[in-house]
Structure 1
Amino acid sequence: MHKDIIDDQVKVGVVTISDTRDYTTDRGGERVQKFLEEQGYEVTREIVKDDIIEIRNIIDQFVYHPSIHAVVTTGGTGIAYRDVSIEAIEPLYDKKIDGFGEIFRYLSYTEDIGSKAILSRATAGVINSSPIFVLPGSVKAVELAMSKLILPELHHCLNELHK
């Protein structure tokens, strides 16, 4: 990728991490896709089980694919036994974007779910010069993250990574 990424067609991989969702019931992943496409992004979407190996395989496919520039995941960020998105993805980070999780939890607390926000382990980082945002699976959480954090900063983030 070159330094003028803001002028390129940006492609985003969207991954839903769930043992129970499919393409007909995945409202969170569908909402991420809609947000991105409304802003002119091209989207490739996948659904994987809550399994560390499966999650890492799809993340690797996306971040090492030459035409995918960023990744957004939904699901598996809570504290339940099957919630393994963080354990699967954070060890792959070249750099962690600490402010994303901090601000996401703050916004979740003030604008959405109150003190339940402490249970969110939403995170973001960089893998192979690709930003990756790891979101909860709820539609409200997706809408909050996409509208307040990801869409306002995605092009800037990509430009910073490729200047």
Structure 2
Amino acid sequence: MHTNDYREITAAVITVSDTRTEETDKGGQAVMDHLKDSKIETAVYQIVKDDFEEIQSAVTAALKQVDVVITTGGTGVAKRDVTIEAVRPLMDKEMEGFGEIFRYLSYTEDVGTRAILSRAFCGTKDQTVVFSIPGSVGAVNLAMKKLITQEVFHIVHELNK
């Protein structure tokens, strides 16, 4: 099936950062640009602090509004990076292959062995798919171009069978 064979879907983009503003959120803007290029409407966009409860609250609210939630930032190994820890318990299922392939692509195309520091997550809750990706523009472009926009329509279709 091609993208045109699927129904239209909507997305939420949540940037996790203590420092970014709408003007400086290049990663979040890159996500929205890729979504627009794929004919996916961004229905929700917000920036939340690197805070477990704030992240969970934003994702929980978005789950009720859209077909796909994409978080950027807060996926590193620093103590304040808690996006994945906040998102994972909200999910019904995890798609481990997303993080595995993201790291593989990062390793081969971009960062070499530093890819072991790269954390990326994909899970589903009811009929919504959630992706948590690093906030750097390079990581966003890689995840969006090579993985998310390639499979998101199919994933949402499968979740709504």
In structure 1, distance between residues paired with 2:35 and 2:128? 16
Whether the 8 Å contact between 1:64 and 1:128 is mirrored in structure 2 is no
Task: Tell me which residue corresponds to 1:60.
Answer: 60
Are 1:12 and 2:11 counterparts? yes
Are 1:78 and 2:76 counterparts? yes
List gaps (5 residues or longer) in structure 1: none
Instruction: Give 2:30's aligned amino acid.
Output: R
Offset from partner CA, 1:43-102 (integer Å, 9 cap, x none): 02110000010000110111022xx11111100000011101011011111000010000
TM-score by length of 1: 0.93
Instruction: Give 1:162's aligned amino acid.
Output: N
Q: CA deviation at 1:31?
A: 0.2
Q: CA deviation at 1:34?
A: 0.5
Instruction: Give 2:138's aligned amino acid.
Output: K
Q: CA deviation at 1:10?
A: 1.1
Offset from partner CA, 1:114-145 (integer Å, 9 cap, x none): 11110111110001221000000000000000
CA RMSD of aligned residues (A): 1.0
In structure 2, distance between residues paired with 1:108 and 1:53? 29
Q: How do 1:33-44 residues align onto structure 2 when only pairs under 5 Å count?
A: 33-43=32-42, 44=44
Q: 4+ runs of 1 displaced by more than 6 Å?
A: none
Task: Tell me which residue corresponds to 2:128.
Answer: 130
Q: Percent identity?
A: 50
Task: Tell me which residue corresponds to 1:155.
Answer: 153
In structure 2, distance between residues paired with 1:87 and 1:123? 10
In structure 2, distance between residues paired with 1:52 and 1:129? 23
In structure 1, distance between residues paired with 2:72 and 2:24? 13
Task: Tell me which residue corresponds to 1:89.
Answer: 87
TM-score by length of 2: 0.94
